[in-house]
Amino acid sequence: NAGVTQTPKFQVLKTGQSMTLQCAQDMNHNSMYWYRQDPGMGLRLIYYSASEGTTDKGEVPNGYNVSRLNKREFSLRLESAAPSQTSVYFCASSDRQGVYGGQYFGPGTRLTVT
């Protein structure tokens, strides 16, 4: 049981390049999330998917798109990377069948945009 996995672990992009961050979970969770973590800013929610087939914007969605490919996989795409998107990106998942909404995180992708 791997939990939440993310690829790649590290990435360097030039301004204007595009890339997709991949996330998968094997816990049969309904909900999945993408966050970014910046020094002094804590974690900020980019997009989430409450269930398969739905996606919604979080606090900081501009410059990103997401796809909930199936119940297991949730990808984050940067169409035209900007230096302001240099950050550590975390994917998380949770089972929100009940009220409990504890989230389980992947190891992160460290992205640098030059």
Partner 1 sequence: GEDVEQSLFLSVREGDSSVINCTYTDSSSTYLYWYKQEPGAGLQLLTYIFSNMDMKQDQRLTVLLNKKDKHLSLRIADTQTGDSAIYFCAETSYNYGGSQGNLIFGKGTKLSVKP
Tell me the closest approach of the beta carbon of residue 51 to partner 1, in angstroms: 11
- Binds partner 1 (CB under 8 A): choice among 71, 72, 86, 96: 96
CA distance 43 to 45: 7
Phi and psi (nearest 5°) for 111? -110, 130
Of 14 and 101, which CB lies nearer to partner 1 in the complex structure?
Answer: 101
26 makes contact with partner 1 (CB under 8 A): no
Q: Collect all residues with Cβ–Cβ distance below 8 Å to 101 and sequence separation of at least 6.
A: 31, 94
Q: What three-state secondary structure class fits 94?
A: strand
From 16-24, 65-73, 74-82, 104-112, give the range in contact with partner 1 by CB under 8 A: 104-112
- For the chain, the maximum distance between any two Cα atoms, rounded to a whole number of angstroms, is 43
| Residue that has been written with the tokens 């049969």 in this structure | 28
101 makes contact with partner 1 (CB under 8 A): yes
Binding site for partner 1 (CB under 8 A): 4, 33, 40-43, 45, 48, 50, 56-59, 90, 92, 96, 99-108
